[in-house]
Amino acid sequence: LGSEFTSTFYRAMTLMVAASPCAVIISTPAAVLSAIASGGRQGVLFKGGEHVEAAANIDAVAFDKTGTLTQGDTQLTDVFVRETAADSLTDEGLLSLATAVQARSEHHLARATVAAAEERSLDVPDARRFQSVAGKGVCADVEASTIHIGNRSYFETVLGDAAVKGLEPGLDRLQTLEAEGKTSVIVAREDGGDVTVLGWLAFTDTVRPGAAEMIGELRELGVEHIVMLTGDNERVAQRIADEVGIDEVQAELLPEEKVATIEDLVDRHENVAMVGDGVNDAPALATATLGIAMGGAGTDVALDTADVVLMGDDLSKIPYVLGLGRATRRTLIVNLAIAFGAIALMVGTILLRGIPLPLAVVGHEGSTVLVSLNGLRLLGFRG
């Protein structure tokens, strides 16, 4: 436009240095990689930067009960034989029949049963034709009959059309035990088509220390809704929910129902985190916006499907994860403001009156260093 070449060329060079977006580009990785490294030091494994960003927006959190809110060290607490059950069946007799079947199962109630029998050094008969119904119960042939072990739904829906002797009092007793916060199952024997309730087994599991504080911290972080999802009974679940301060309980869920509940939560709250440990939690972990698995207690499938793994099973790391996400987002906003701000300021000045090239270099490199340092501050994030 008729301007003198040397000064115009100099100004164009200055503009290109000032406007090149190094600081903008480095803003995000500087913050996100620092956040991932900081998580690593705290025993929190993020499987990617996008999960740090997802953690910033979580509005609702769903927890599995067994193994997540509780320690998963289920213990058999009581063995009850139904008075009119049979010919001199003792507590130990009932336990050894149940153990014969449960020796074939991987379930935590099964492991607790087997452990209790081992502790009492019981003789356990062999079992054949083991079958399990997910979320309901198990059965197998022991000696000359079939032993069934399960919850209300097992006896009502699986054994549906067989008239079970003693089922009414059996279910009443189950309800009383559950009201005490004990996860309980009915043991029954099937002989030539007749099913008779033999007794009950009751179990407890301890709530992880710090669970209630963790829920409180989530609320302070602005999480609107906290839900428990469990395959266990409603009464037992409600007791634990009350103890730790959870809003909503969804009990007696099958794995696919856990997924449906998460989908429903996503509809209502948009960004939902799911925390779980079991095989039956894996589909729900995959469906949630952010899947968090308990690394120590967790099964391989859960660890594989999750986006974040808590290496030490430390529940207090859940508020840490959400807090880190939020801190990372704040850092990103500040970084982008610094980066775009520096560019806008320099470009504006260059267009209006020009600045010396060395100053543009200092401004360009300076803002890049500044956003990197600001990102690195996240390395010190402690929650």
Cβ distance to ligand ADP smaller for residue 42 or 102: 102
Q: What is the closest distance, in whole angstroms, from the C-beta atom of residue 363 to ligand ADP in the complex?
A: 59
Residues in the interface with ligand ADP (CB under 6 A) total 21
- Residues 52-91, one symbol each (x = binds ligand ADP by CB under 6 A, - = not), give -------------xx-------------------------
232 contacts which partner out of ligand ADP, Mg ion, none, CB within 5 to 8 A by kind? ligand ADP
Which tokens hold the place of 224?
């609107």
Concatenating the DSSP letter of every residue in 178-242 gives: HHTT-EEEEEEEEETTEEEEEEEEEEE-PBPTTHHHHHHHHHHTT--EEEEE-SS-HHHHHHHHH
Cβ distance to ligand ADP smaller for residue 288 or 297: 297
Q: What is the closest distance, in whole angstroms, from the C-beta atom of residue 341 to ligand ADP in the complex?
A: 52
Of the candidates 340, 374, 274, 230, the one whose C-alpha atom is nearest the C-alpha of residue 51 is: 274
- Residues 225-244, one symbol each (x = binds ligand ADP by CB under 6 A, - = not), give -----xxx------------
Q: Provide the 3-class DSSP secondary structure of residue 125.
A: coil
Q: Which of 66, 74, 368, 372 binds Mg ion (CB under 5 A)?
A: 66
Cα–Cα distance measured from residue 361 to residue 364, given in angstroms and rounded to the nearest whole number: 5
Give the DSSP letter of residue 69: I
Q: What is the closest distance, in whole angstroms, from the C-beta atom of residue 64 to Mg ion in the complex?
A: 4
170 contacts which partner out of ligand ADP, Mg ion, none, CB within 5 to 8 A by kind? none
Cα–Cα distance measured from residue 20 to residue 347, given in angstroms and rounded to the nearest whole number: 10
Cβ distance to ligand ADP smaller for residue 95 or 110: 110
Cα–Cα distance measured from residue 107 to residue 338, given in angstroms and rounded to the nearest whole number: 54
Q: Does 135 bind ligand ADP (CB under 6 A)?
A: yes
CB atoms within 10 A of CB 27: 27
Q: What is the closest distance, in whole angstroms, from the C-beta atom of residue 232 to Mg ion in the complex?
A: 9
135 contacts which partner out of ligand ADP, Mg ion, none, CB within 5 to 8 A by kind? ligand ADP
In order of 50, 266, 285, 354, the CA distances from 260 in angstroms are 24, 10, 12, 61
Cα–Cα distance measured from residue 122 to residue 358, given in angstroms and rounded to the nearest whole number: 85
Q: Which of 67, 135, 137, 375 binds Mg ion (CB under 5 A)?
A: 67
Q: What is the closest distance, in whole angstroms, from the C-beta atom of residue 100 to Mg ion in the complex?
A: 25
Q: Which of 38, 151, 196, 287 binds ligand ADP (CB under 6 A)?
A: 151
Cα–Cα distance measured from residue 104 to residue 124, given in angstroms and rounded to the nearest whole number: 12
Is-contact 66 297, C-beta < 8 A? no
- Residues 262-281, one symbol each (x = binds ligand ADP by CB under 6 A, - = not), give ----------------x-x-
Q: Does 295 bind Mg ion (CB under 5 A)?
A: no
Of the candidates 291, 325, 333, 238, the one whose C-alpha atom is nearest the C-alpha of residue 47 is: 291
| Residue 267 falls in the annotated catalytic set | no
Cα–Cα distance measured from residue 34 to residue 28, given in angstroms and rounded to the nearest whole number: 10
**Max intra-chain CA distance, the chain:** 114
105 contacts which partner out of Mg ion, ligand ADP, none, CB within 5 to 8 A by kind? ligand ADP
Residue of closest CB approach to ligand ADP: 231
Cα–Cα distance measured from residue 46 to residue 53, given in angstroms and rounded to the nearest whole number: 11
Of the listed 64, 277, 281, 307, which one is catalytic?
64
Site for Mg ion in 83-102 (CB under 5 A): none
Q: Does 205 bind ligand ADP (CB under 6 A)?
A: no
Contact residues: ligand ADP, CB under 6 A: 65-66, 102, 105, 107, 109-110, 135-138, 149-151, 183, 185, 230-232, 278, 280
Q: Which are the catalytic amino acids?
A: 64
